Amino acid sequence: MTAPTYRRRPVLPFRRRPVLLAAGALLTAGAVTAGVLVAGGAGAGRHARPVAGDGLRHTTVEIGTSGCGRGWTRPAAGRQVFDLRNTSATAAEAYLVDARTGAVHGEVEGLGPGTTRTLQVTLGDGSYAFTCLPDDADAVTGPTVRITGGGKVRSGPAAVPVTQQELIPPTLAYQKWIGARTVELARRTDVLRAAVDRGDLAAARAAWLPAHLVYERMGAAYGTFGDADAEIDGTTAGLSGGVRDPGFAGFHRVEFGLWHGESASSLRGPADRLAGAVHALRDSWPGRRMDPADVGLRAHEILENTVQFELTGRTDYGSGTNLATARANLDGTRALLGYLRPLLRTRATGLTGIETWMSRARHTLDAFDHDGRWTPLSRLTRAQREKVDADLGELVERLADVAALTDVRRTA
């Protein structure tokens, strides 16, 4: 696994597939997702086991190009486990879907040939089928299985997958929003550069944070910025020379100088370089295109990175404004969710909870804003620090559901 080349996007070099959510929890395939997916090792054979040691009904189901879904011959309502055995010669994915609506009740990916993994679900009355997606082969949907007589048993969480086409309109709207932010960013960065140019370092310090926070609200677009992100908001991570390294540039380079006694003359170069990068981004943005498949994941990553970098103080180069940055990141997340809300409204049962925790986190952070002077992390009491960590951490967990629901899944 290689490290990311810029600060706030610790994306793996392959696309990470989140599994569908349940009960507000989400983990990657191969882990436990409450009510939906439970990791499993080798199965216990090819025969159905009405009741296993865990007290649940187990059914062995084949996954592959031939015989997809074979083995589910005794359907029943309730909480149960499917032992999914890959009978093909390649790795495969498998979805358990509502045969009428296409909603996914559970999924397993990376199922190796000849191996078995378990899928735990709760099913009520209805029609269901397994879809098998072997690598390098077309998707195959198995026979429809009908459950009746379930009484009061209700199926667990399920969601209709989002398509690439559905994600295009909110992505375009968000791109337009980012375009307006780049104009604001250039204007505020020019104020910062002008203060440095005339040698007014007090004014430069006052102008630094408003400019920086504009950039921090644009987090979901960092991946589309390319090399501009390092030029505008790079850190010393990976630089052998640390804060003296020629590659250290952007807001944090200027921040270091402003809060560590550097002269205006020594800061003119870094301020000019920053302004140049910002103006280049503004001018080039209309020609850039965000990947619609990434926007939901970014809604989660913005605050995931906030917890990793801002709440640990790893990006503080003297201004002590990590909490202000966290607040700006929260604003950026809210903006993106606003564009995704039409898609989420019919899929995310926990959307109200996400909005509640967004408001709670905003209220917690606002308590540390004293007319534009933010409390540094080092001055938080233990109780304050724990509350900030808890509120942002809970919100990150809930936003993982957004990443799952907006992930574009293979259908053919």
Q: Is the pLDDT at 54 greater than 80, yes or no?
A: yes
Q: Rounded to whole angstroms, what are the CA distances from 248 to 3, 204, 225, 244, 318?
A: 18, 19, 17, 7, 15
pLDDT bin (cut points 50, 70, 90) of residue 15 is: very low
Percentage with pLDDT > 70 across the chain = 87
3-state secondary structure of 5: coil
Instruction: Report the C-alpha gap between 373 and 350 in whole angstroms.
Output: 35
pLDDT of residue 139: 93
Q: Are 21 and 33 in contact (CB under 8 A)?
A: yes
Q: Which of 336, 211, 208 minimizes the C-alpha distance to 282?
A: 211
pTM, rounded to two decimals? 0.81
43-64 exposure pattern, b = at least 16 Cβ within 10 A, e = fewer: beeeebbeeeeeebbbbbbbbb
Domains of the chain: which residue ranges? 22-158, 164-405
Average of pLDDT values for 275-285?
98
**Mean pLDDT for the chain?**
87
pLDDT of residue 404: 85
Average of pLDDT values for 89-96?
95
Q: Is the pLDDT at 12 greater than 60, yes or no?
A: no
Percentage with pLDDT > 90 across the chain = 78
pLDDT bin (cut points 50, 70, 90) of residue 192 is: very high
Can you name the CATH fold of 22-158?
A: Immunoglobulin-like (2.60.40)
Q: Is the pLDDT at 136 greater than 50, yes or no?
A: yes
pLDDT of residue 408: 85
pLDDT of residue 7: 37
Question: What class is the 164-405 domain?
Answer: mainly alpha
Average of pLDDT values for 286-303?
93
Residue 129's DSSP bridge partners are 97
pLDDT of residue 348: 75
Average of pLDDT values for 374-386?
98
pLDDT bin (cut points 50, 70, 90) of residue 52 is: low
Lookup: tokens for 340: 């995704």
Q: Model confidence over 313-369: pLDDT tens digits? A: 999 999 999 999 999 999 999 999 999 999 998 887 788 999 999 999 999 999 999
Average of pLDDT values for 31-49?
34
Q: Are 82 and 72 in contact (CB under 8 A)?
A: yes
pLDDT bin (cut points 50, 70, 90) of residue 273 is: very high
Q: Which of 298, 302, 311, 286 minimizes the C-alpha distance to 384?
A: 311
pLDDT bin (cut points 50, 70, 90) of residue 379 is: very high
Average of pLDDT values for 52-80?
92
